Structure 1
Amino acid sequence: MGGASVHLLDLALGMQELGHEVMVLVGGQGVVVDRAAQFGLECLPLRYMVREISPLVDLKGYFELRKKLAELKPDVVHLHSAKAGILGRLAARSLSIPAIYTAHGWPFTEGVSEQKRKLFAFIERAMAKLSSRIITVSEYDRDIAIESKVADGDQLVVVHNGIPDVPVSNKSPEPGLDTVKLVMVARFEEPKNQRALIEALASVEDLNWTLEFIGDGPNLESVEEVTQALGLSGRVMFLGSRDDVPACLSAADALVLVSRWEGLPLTVLEAMRAGLPVIASDVGGVGETVGHGVTGYLVPRDSKTELIESLRKVISDPAVRLSMGKAGRQRFEAEFTFDGMLHRTLAVYHQVIGARG
């Protein structure tokens, strides 16, 4: 599942455990529906809520969603993802139901082409008029929404992502000759840039490392081809989609996330929770999680030189990995717990419902 889907189900389960009635509406069948059932959540698949843009299907999706909301009569509708955010806010407004939208990274952020930024900002300005509140997962996203005149500061609320805690293993410095296991957890599609990581690792081939890629997606085959062409097939593993990511991170030594743009990626929080140092592109809200030189290294977008330097530091120095991993775990406990996110989100619900009168 993508980060937004994980966030949604965690949030829904947390609200249900607090005693609230929750219904999850999601496009189609699949892993989200299955996971919701495992969590004991009511989940209603929507036939016409699809990722691809299709005017006719999207029109059907609007009426399907509106019908379900009219039947459910919720106190508040909380929307995630661009398509659901548009159709859901339109449907909620037509029924006079308060709508909250969480932007898991704006489509008009830096790294997106100027033409697309202008188009997406125009759409989000229109949609903001239908929103009781807009939650951003980082201060960065709040700031660019204000700068792009999508919404004002009163309508925007920052709620940093948070994730449930799990037990972590105690890491200790390894002997210098041990192989350092790197991991990147991300789908093989924009905005992730697995290819850049492979090319950077080819420049530190003299060091003792392996890399695990977790995830699938349309760019997987091309990254496999680059890996083979650079002679790194024996050191890079493609694990595909996994449902045991916490265990994979616990067995790793460092997380690397190379992206062209981001919101506030859950995989960085998962790595901090596991006590791992993080090397990540300094885009979106990543800098609000990773302390440069403290819990990991922030690398400017598309900077191969600084990515190579950061990889060399982390791979070659076990003491650095240990100290950064401990600092990351402490920062997770202080700022990015699930309970903190849950109660801040609930406060937004109460504000919206209270304002409705």
Structure 2
Amino acid sequence: MAYASAAGTLCRIPVIMTEHSRHYLDVRARRRWEKRFFAYGLDALVEVSPQLMEASAVKDGVSRSKIQTILNGVDIATLQQADGSGFRKEIAASENHFLIGSVGRLEHIKGPDILLDAFAAMAVSAHEARLVYTGSGSMEPHLRERAAALGLSNRVILAGARSDIPEILAALDCFVMPSRSEGLPFALLEAMAAGKPVISTSVGHIPDILKHGQNGCLVQPESPDELSKTLLSVIKDNTLRNTIAKQAPEIVQRQYAQSVMFNEYEALYDSLCR
């Protein structure tokens, strides 16, 4: 943000920044002053949820006149037409395996360690379950070592960073968002659009989207025990899975279509370039 603000000021061109989440849990005054200072050089700060907008205005002191909320949107058709059979074959997952997956950076704030602990707690009760991480990050070595220590190396797949996310989501039987902090995550919307049973921590804008037991399941952050119990419920309850699979795409279609997001960004760009 610092370099972009300076370059925009020097070149006299509009500068826009989009904040997708609180990428840090550090709330020290220095962090807030840094953001407030660099925001002076922005023409617009786009927040992807009302919660992030309030945090920027109230906690960081960014002028509300510069903040605009534009909700994320996804390509629903592509996600619903994707075929996951190739990925299941790639990781040697049979029809009997229940694939639990997460898509995102393997960093502390995303909670991949919480998901692994939850999976370990329920793995004995669900022998058919497999856990798939899609993404890369600094926690990857720790997750690999922890899975080995738990005797789960043959049931935990670290697929790395991938470009075929629609196909991977299509292959999953359940999607988990275990984050400690979020705004409005694309991966969550994509999994919902794909009709997957979704379990997520109740952070950021997510509780405004997910209604527990209807179009998804909510758990408290930093709670592997609760997540483990919810995973078992989703695995064992066909009715719950079918209810979520039906209702989740409907709310994405109504409120989080990619075309709506594109139109709002285009309108913002037009307003700043006149």
Q: Match of 1:105, SS?
A: coil
Asked if residue 182 in structure 1 is aligned to residue 182 in structure 2, the reply is no
TM-superposition CA deviations, 1:25-45 (whole Å, max 9, x none): xxxxxxxxxxxxxxxxxxxxx
Contact 2:74/2:256 (8 A) holds in 1: yes
Asked if residue 146 in structure 1 is aligned to residue 66 in structure 2, the reply is no
> Match of 1:296?
216
Distance 2:15 2:180 in 1: 30
**Mapping of 1:205-354 within 5 angstroms?**
205=123, 206-207=125-126, 208-354=128-274
Q: CA deviation at 1:149?
A: 4.3
Q: Match of 2:109, SS?
A: coil
Q: Could you tell me which amino acid in structure 2 is paired with residue 168 of structure 1?
A: Q
**Mapping of 1:117-156 within 5 angstroms?**
118-156=29-67
Asked if residue 168 in structure 1 is aligned to residue 80 in structure 2, the reply is yes
Flag as ranges the 4+ runs of structure 1 deviating above 4 A. Answer: none
Contact 1:186/1:192 (8 A) holds in 2: yes
Q: Match of 1:191, SS?
A: helix
Question: Alignment RMSD, CA only?
Answer: 2.1
Distance 1:95 1:315 in 2: 56
Contact 2:23/2:109 (8 A) holds in 1: no
For structure 1, which runs of at least 5 residues remain unmatched after alignment? 1-84, 171-176
Distance 2:81 2:259 in 1: 22
> Match of 1:92?
8
> Which of the two has higher C-alpha Rg?
1
Indicate the structure whose relative CO is greater, using CA pairs within 8 Å and at least 6 residues apart. 2
Q: CA deviation at 1:292?
A: 2.5
Q: CA deviation at 1:265?
A: 1.4
Q: CA deviation at 1:169?
A: 5.7
Distance 2:178 2:248 in 1: 18
Distance 2:22 2:136 in 1: 23
For structure 2, which runs of at least 5 residues remain unmatched after alignment? 83-94
TM-superposition CA deviations, 1:244-292 (whole Å, max 9, x none): 1111111111101211212221111110121112111222222233333
> Match of 1:73?
none
TM-superposition CA deviations, 1:169-221 (whole Å, max 9, x none): 69xxxxxx943211111222231221211111122121231111111222111
Q: CA deviation at 1:154?
A: 2.6
Asked if residue 198 in structure 1 is aligned to residue 116 in structure 2, the reply is yes
Contact 2:195/2:246 (8 A) holds in 1: yes
Q: Could you tell me which amino acid in structure 2 is paired with residue 319 of structure 1?
A: T
Distance 1:302 1:186 in 2: 17
TM-score of the pair, normalised by structure 1: 0.68
Distance 2:27 2:66 in 1: 25
> Match of 1:71?
none
TM-score of the pair, normalised by structure 2: 0.88
Q: Match of 1:91, SS?
A: helix
> Match of 2:26?
113
Q: CA deviation at 1:145?
A: 1.1
Q: CA deviation at 1:89?
A: 1.3
Q: Could you tell me which amino acid in structure 2 is paired with residue 136 of structure 1?
A: E
> Match of 1:28?
none
Distance 1:105 1:308 in 2: 25
Distance 2:40 2:103 in 1: 35
Q: Could you tell me which amino acid in structure 1 is paired with residue 26 of structure 2?
A: S
Distance 2:52 2:208 in 1: 11
Contact 1:107/1:120 (8 A) holds in 2: no
Query: CA distance change for structure 1 residues 169 and 181 in 2, over 3 Å: closer, same or farther?
Result: farther
Q: CA deviation at 1:107?
A: 4.4
Distance 1:350 1:202 in 2: 51
